[in-house]
Amino acid sequence: MSIPPYAASEPMNLFIITILPLSTSLEHAPPPVQAIPHFLAAGHRVYLAAPLAGQAEEIREALGVGGVLPLHRVAPSALLPLLLNGYRVGYWARRWRPEIYLSVGPRSALLANGGRGAADGDGISVQVLSSLQPESTHWVGQLLERRAIQEADRLLTYEAAVAGDVVGHYGARGGDVTVLPDKQPRHFVSLCEQFLAEPPGFN
């Protein structure tokens, strides 16, 4: 799938979820989080969930997002903090009603899919995968991560090998897996706009 040009569209509600700790600087943030200024410039509403180390209000003001949800930091072997995060994401998903859930990695996608379920199943789950290495060391966590990959509507990755494994070993639909040409954050805006216009399995 090629990256389409920016397209004029109705404003969408976007919920970006990452379990990676963030600060007020986007310099070291994952590309989907770095894309926040691009989403805002295109007129979209953005909400963010991440471990924020007590800087929620500062990050909300610095990024200009509509809302910020602080998450618990989750060790690879921990399940309870992950479940607590899932409950909180579900609660705010019901309030924010996002059309797109953009998650970074399998455990973040697990939270996104749970949030979508809590919000009556509305919205498209878009997962960004840099690798297929499990983020959890507990077997239950690994099973849930695999389920999260399988339930995502769209999968984005930077490596063709990862895309092939997602289709071959995880049962993803080939048309719903996109290999990004690079890690430029601007790609996420046009892709999310395109995903709203196309049902999963379009290609």
DSSP string, 100-151: EEEEESHHHHHHHHHHHHHTTT-SEEEEEES--S-S-SSHHHHHHHHHHHHH
Distances (CA, A) of 140 to 18, 90, 161, 171: 20, 20, 25, 20
Q: Are strands 100-104 and 13-18 parallel, antiparallel or unpaired?
A: parallel
Q: What is the pLDDT of residue 45?
A: 94
3-state SS assignment for residue 188: helix
Asked if 124 and 200 count as a contact pair (C-beta separation under 8 A), the reply is yes
Asked if 126 and 42 count as a contact pair (C-beta separation under 8 A), the reply is no
Instruction: List strands edge to edge, sheet with 13-18.
Output: 67-70, 45-50, 13-18, 100-104, 124-129, 154-157, 177-179
Q: What is the pLDDT of residue 7?
A: 47
Q: Round to whole Å and give the CA distance between 101 and 63.
A: 18
Q: What is the pLDDT of residue 1?
A: 39
DSSP for 10-62 reads ---EEEEEE-S---S--TTS-HHHHTHHHHHHTT-EEEEEE--TT-HHHHHHH
- The domains of the chain are located at 13-193
Topology (CATH level 3) of domain 13-193: Rossmann fold (3.40.50)
Q: What is the pLDDT of residue 56?
A: 83
- pTM reported for the whole predicted model: 0.85
Q: What is the mean pLDDT of each run of 10 residues along the chain (203 residues)?
A: 48 90 75 92 93 82 90 80 89 92 88 88 88 69 79 88 81 79 87 81 49
Task: Give the position of tokens 């309030």.
Answer: 95
Q: Round to whole Å and give the CA distance between 151 and 171.
A: 10
